[in-house]
A and B are shown apart, each in its own frame.
Chain A
Amino acid sequence: MRRDGNLIFGVALISIAILVMVEASFFPKFVVSGKRLPGPAFFPTILSIILIISGFYEIIMALLGKRFSKPPRPFLDYLKDWGIQNVLILLFMLIIYVPVIKLLGFILGTFIISLLLMVRLKAGWIRSVIVSIALIIVIVLLFEKVFKIPLPEGVFGIKF
């Protein structure tokens, strides 16, 4: 698995570098008094060249390195793992957090997401409710009242 990971990393670096170089090739040239000087593509292109060299280095090292004796687990086995499920659930919740608080408002949206995540991580219902409420109070007091940063009120217009 480690060797495969490194191999993918090397290929990813080269792919990123090629994409950057292709995109940079469309950038305008920087010409002053007929002389071509370093333009917007100059720095990203240099960095891409370094990335391509590094990518090949990673691939060569991965191919020269030892493959772990343990065979890789089937993909579905990974999904059954409680810890990996947590990672995926957390990421999903973080991604939907912004639309949720835009819709329900910061207070209600944060309460629901925080509560669900804490319960999923086995923090217990009572503790999850108390910590979620405390967290919301601290954030509202600090950000909205002290720093005057407006937090979303949502369609229900719930605010402190």
Chain B
Amino acid sequence: MSILKVFEPKILIPWILAMGFGIFVGGIPGLTATMAVALIVPISYYMDPLAGLAMILGVTFTAIFAGDIPATYLRIPGTPASGAAVLDGYEMSKKGKGALALTLDLICSAIGGFIGVLLLILVAPFLAEFALRFTNFEYFWLGVFGLSMSAVLTRGNTIRGIISAVLGLLISTIGIDITTGYPRFTFGNVELMGGISFIPAMIGLFGISEVLKHVRDRRHLMAPSISEKMSVSFKKAFPIVWKNKWTILKSALIGTFVGALPGAGADIAAWVAYGVAKKTSKNSEEFGKGCEEGVIAPTSANNAALGGTWIPALVFGVPGDTVTAIVLGAMLMYGLKPGPLIFQQSRHIVEGIFFIALISQLFLLLIGYFGIKAYKGVLRLPRNAVLIMVAIFSIIGSYAIRNSFFDVYVMIAFGIIGFIFELLKVPLPPMILGIILGPMIEDNLRVGLIKTGGNFIPFLTRPISAVLITLIILIFFGGNILRLIGRILRGGRRNG
């Protein structure tokens, strides 16, 4: 069977429609790529397996990119993977460069996605094997590493970043304790048993707090939400992309690797890539102020992570994130068995998946271009109207996740917290990451300690753990260590 079969109308048409649908879902805060895939799967039940898989792949790539559109224009991440995109994308938008930020986003998403898929094809078995060597100890440090990155690297002082992250971790402890089944901090409220869902929290912290901030300012209310004249221009973006080629490559490699770790998806990949880009950049002080590298790094990583998440899913049948967890179910539904044997038993399907994933990056450029244009059209309305639309969409988006009005109140509460934190200059991203990574950090810490009978030493002595601990120390003290070494070297030269 030729892989060109993917261009037959019965595959091509649903594939492209699903990609358009992904732009729509990803661009609406509260609706995630996971939700889009969950909606696609039942539709694809009676289709050719390749058509179904093309729809799933297409919708995830476009949804993850589209999450950056409201993150850039409204400071509301459309999907959790766009959390890091609010930092510099939104700052660029405030300077009238939102369209440029999104063009960079689009191109780098496609390149990142392409690299991620290439790595999936080339090194899938090796990477998956390495990821499987991670135990509770390494996962604990990986979570702490991601959290440290966000605490140090977001704008504002590091102590406030740590406070925000710790508060996020504390919020994540609300609900039933997985190890013992004991309800913690629920105060008899049934709705709190399942914990605080991070999506309404994220919409509140970033969206409602922003709406509250803007309604205070009479002058800005009458102006259009985006006043920039600049349109989406690939011509302007390509030289910037070329200038930052190493950042893209580095971020895509990080994204693929993080994506390949079960449980660590596109959201963590974006934060880690942003952190590494900031630490290694010559213009690190520009990060968080609307710098192009700050847009490029997370977006290259989050789309590359999608390729990475397929590595353990395809090779070992272990999902890399929630999307691939649904994909595994879908594959079983299509009569396919994920695992090492799939490469022999259903070789044409695997080749088809790889080919579709690569071609999806080209389609992403085209569909994403129209997506940005459509979103910009809506945002030409005056800010006062857009702010109310955002508030109502935030409420409905929060409700839609679990059909729960309780989540709406959670979203409003986090909106107030976000508003107060912004006044106090406490960074918000570490809190969200704390809520997301909290269960992973706590479970791995406790399970690890239970395994060792309460002994913490094994957390420090394993080789991969040691590497992660060193990286965490470097995040906090790397600058000071470098300065100290520089001073010693200069002193030595003077004495010599």
Contacts and interface: CB of A to CB of B under 8 A. Distances in A.
A139 B393 contact: yes
A54 B163 contact: yes
Contacts of A75: none
A149 B403 contact: yes
A150 interface: yes
Nearest to B391: A94
A139 B415 CA distance: 21
B182 A28 contact: yes
Interface in B436-493: 442, 445-446, 449-450, 453-454
B166 interface: yes
A5 B424 CA distance: 7
Nearest to A93: B391
Contact of B381 (A28, A30, A131): A131
A84 B446 CA distance: 45
Interface string A68-101: 0000000000000011101100110011011000
Given A5-B424, A94-B391, A149-B403, A51 B166 contact: yes
A139 B215 CA distance: 23
Nearest to A99: B405
A63 interface: no
Nearest to A106: B396
A57 interface: yes
A37 B395 CA distance: 42
B431 to A, nearest CB: 13
A117 B173 contact: no
Interface stretch (B45-53, B97-105, B217-225): B217-225
A110 B315 CA distance: 48
Interface string A133-146: 00100010011000
Main secondary structure of the interface of B (DSSP, over half): helix
Given A20-B170, A47-B166, A114-B388, A97 B395 contact: yes
A86 B216 contact: yes
B159 interface: yes
B391 A98 contact: no
A39 B445 CA distance: 11
B446 A57 contact: no
B391 A90 contact: yes
Given A30-B179, A43-B173, A150-B403, A121 B387 contact: yes
A81 B159 CA distance: 33
Contact of A28 (B180, B391, B396): B180
Nearest to B222: A122
B169 A47 contact: yes
A117 to B, nearest CB: 5
Nearest to B184: A40
B458 to A, nearest CB: 14
A50 B381 contact: no
Interface string A95-115: 101100010000000100110
Contacts of A128: 385
A6 interface: yes
A57 B157 CA distance: 13
B64 interface: no
Contacts of B445: 38, 43
A95 B412 contact: yes
Given A38-B449, A91-B416, A123-B382, A44 B173 contact: yes
A42 B162 contact: no
A27 interface: yes
B389 interface: yes
Interface string B310-345: 000000000000000000000000000000000000
Given A83-B215, A95-B412, A121-B387, A54 B453 contact: no
Interface in B35-80: 35, 39
Given A6-B424, A121-B384, A98 B408 contact: yes
A118 B166 contact: no
Interface string A34-61: 0111111011100110110010011000
A91 to B, nearest CB: 7
Contacts of B399: 149
Interface string B270-298: 00000000000000000000000000000
B218 A82 contact: yes
A32 interface: yes
A159 interface: no
B208 interface: yes
A67 interface: no
B85 interface: no
Contacts of A43: 169, 173, 442, 445-446
B199 interface: no
Contact of B449 (A27, A37, A123): A37
A50 to B, nearest CB: 5
A38 B450 contact: yes
B385 A127 contact: yes
Contact of B453 (A6, A35, A110, A135): A35
B400 interface: yes
Interface of B: 24, 28, 31, 35, 39, 159, 162-163, 166-167, 169-170, 173, 177, 179-180, 182, 184-185, 208, 211-212, 215-218, 221-222, 381-382, 384-385, 387-389, 391-393, 395-396, 399-400, 403, 405, 408-409, 412, 415-416, 419, 423-424, 426, 442, 445-446, 449-450, 453-454
Given A110-B392, A147-B39, 18 more contacts: A23-B185, A27-B182, A27-B184, A28-B182, A35-B453, A38-B446, A43-B173, A43-B445, A51-B170, A90-B215, A91-B412, A94-B415, A97-B408, A98-B408, A114-B389, A117-B391, A122-B221, A149-B399
Shortest 5 CB-CB contacts between residues of A and residues of B: A83-B216, A121-B384, A86-B215, A40-B177, A123-B384
13 contacts: A16-B170, A27-B182, A37-B450, A40-B179, A87-B212, A95-B409, A118-B385, A121-B388, A127-B382, A135-B392, A139-B393, A149-B399, A150-B403
